[in-house]
Amino acid sequence: MELIIKNGYVYDPKNGIDGEIKDIMVKDGKIVDNVSKEALEIDAKNKVVMPGGVDHHTHIAGSKVCVGRMLRPEDIRRNPDPMAQIPHIDRVMMVKRGGGGFSVMPTWTTGYRYAQMGYTTCFDPAFAPMGAKHLHEEFERTPLIDKGGICLMGNNWMIMEYLHDGELEKAAAYVSWLLNATKAYGIKIVNPGGVEAWSWGKNITSGRDPVPYFNLTSNEIIKGLAEINEMLELPHSIHLHGNNLGHPGNWDTFIDNADAALDVSVNTVSEREQVVHATHVQFYSYGGESWKDFSSKADAIADYINKTKNITIDVGFVTLDETTTMTGDGPMEYNLYSTTNLKWANNDVGLECGSGLTPFIYNGKNPVNAIQWAAGLELALLIDDPWKVLFGTDHPNGGPFIRYPDVFSWLMSKKARDEKIAKINKSVRRNAIIESLDREYTLYEIATITRAANAKVLGLTEKGHLGIGADADIAIYNLDPEKDKLNDPETIKKAFMKTHYTIKGGEIVVKEGRIVNPEHMGKTYIVESEFGDKEIYKDMLNDLEMKFKKYYAMQKSTYWTGYEYVPHRKTIKVGYKGD
């Protein structure tokens, strides 16, 4: 299919295009420099054209999300969307699918709603290795977007034992095998050592605390996995959720965790520059010694990020909604449940990881929740370089992704922030600095933190831009930069809630806010890792066979996720060449 998008205001930060009126040409799913006279013309006059959105951190598939759907039937009945209730012939079940849900949605609704907002690529940031088959089965039922999964490794027995024994290459060989076995894209670290401690009813709150029974600190796990990540030349850096999330005074824990790996050199097949990507950092931006003197320390975190190379973050904005929290940080979820006494689920996954899940209501009248709302915005407004601070709510933890337009309005409009401040708890004026910040994001900066920077951090060279050879993933918004007030909250929210057009892989999937191609199935990004030192790899496999025989509840052959689970895949070849 050939397309030409004419006369739009183009925002393409990777290529330095800031609102220029340009034509974008598409052929065979790619951006090209020429098309035939038969190309379908789309008039984008007086409209904004951006690359398709890239959400690098959103919990949309796999075991945690599925438990969330089962735990919260009341959520799935919320927010039915007629636009999403389009006949979709499921390739496996062969039944028609509708839509609904607010914080935990069916897979098909997830794909529809992301596409309607102009997003075309989404990565699930935390899946259990043993849950890989489930993840990929759900990816294959999530239409209209490309996907990828980042595998939990920060509490894995094999990795911790090898790191404790100083056998870094053996640990790297195992990580290489695990990436292939699970069809993953990268390495996720969640509360390193703390989730293993939770198996014994304990936790770890500092990067310098030893993991029970392993005599290894959290910071040593972080550094070891960062070194392995670069040994294998992975496109994405380690994806770090550190210790002590969500507690007063945890801002210095974040800095201590991040510092653990910053002397590791970047070595990658992609264009990324960071060695650490720290995620949902709003939840680490807290001062005070208790909930009574709880405050925002986003200014201290922002100052650290501004001064530090080789690190990027995403925010984890709080939208002040009822939502469903879910994470691989089991002890954190138990602590949260203990404050609410709402429903709670918890799971320990073999020798690998654990997780938890509980509903939560962020109430703007609550002083802590009001400050959390402010802290996220302060991070984005105080970090100077938008290439270092990625957009996201840690869906659904800070709020559901369908609230993204609200967050855009708070970033782009001081008026919108002031209106919200007037309605929420007054502690936000005493214990946060949000009211004093005048910065308003531009469309160019919004395109950076939702597209260009996200793709670069993930190592997706064909995503997040509109240069020749890029994937033809394009969003066209009903927004006129010359006539519309770009700091008017309602204008911003209306424009970003539903696109004029969304184009995925060169095909029109959304037109005037309506799904027009519900059958389109995106790709799943995976890495294929080769380990060059065959002797070390063979020794590791012998150790692994023993682990499966002694400790696992399944055979190694059953554990492996075959390519039949990932029929629509994009493979990036990586590996360790050996000394």
Task: Report the pLDDT averaged over residues 222-239.
Answer: 99
Residue whose tokens read 């340009």: 22
Cα dihedral 494→500→504→506 (10° resolution): -160
- Neighbouring C-beta atoms of residue 37, cutoff 10 Å: 6
Q: pLDDT per residue over 457-490, tens digit each?
A: 999 999 999 999 999 999 999 999 999 889 999 9
**Could you give the domains of the chain?**
2-51+465-515 (2.30.40.10), 53-458 (3.20.20)
In the predicted model, what is the mean pLDDT of residues 538-566? 95
Q: Which residues pair with 571 in a beta bridge?
A: 526
| φ, ψ of residue 5 in degrees (nearest 5) | -100, 115
Whether 96 shows a pLDDT value over 90: the answer reads no
For position 85, what pLDDT does the model report?
46
Binning pLDDT at 50, 70 and 90, where does residue 18 land? very high
Backbone torsions φ then ψ of 478, nearest 5 degrees: -75, 75
* Residue-level pLDDT at 84: 45
For residues 526 and 121, give the distance between their C-alpha atoms in angstroms, rounded to a whole number. Answer: 13
Burial of 273 (0-12, 13-18, 19+ CB in 10 A): middle
Mean pLDDT (the chain, rounded)? 95
Q: Residue 210 forms beta bridges with which residues? A: 217
The pLDDT of 409-430, averaged and rounded, is: 98
Tell me the C-alpha distance between 148 and 527, whole Å.
10
Report pLDDT for 432.
99
Give residue 98's pLDDT. 66
- Check pLDDT > 70 for residue 83: no
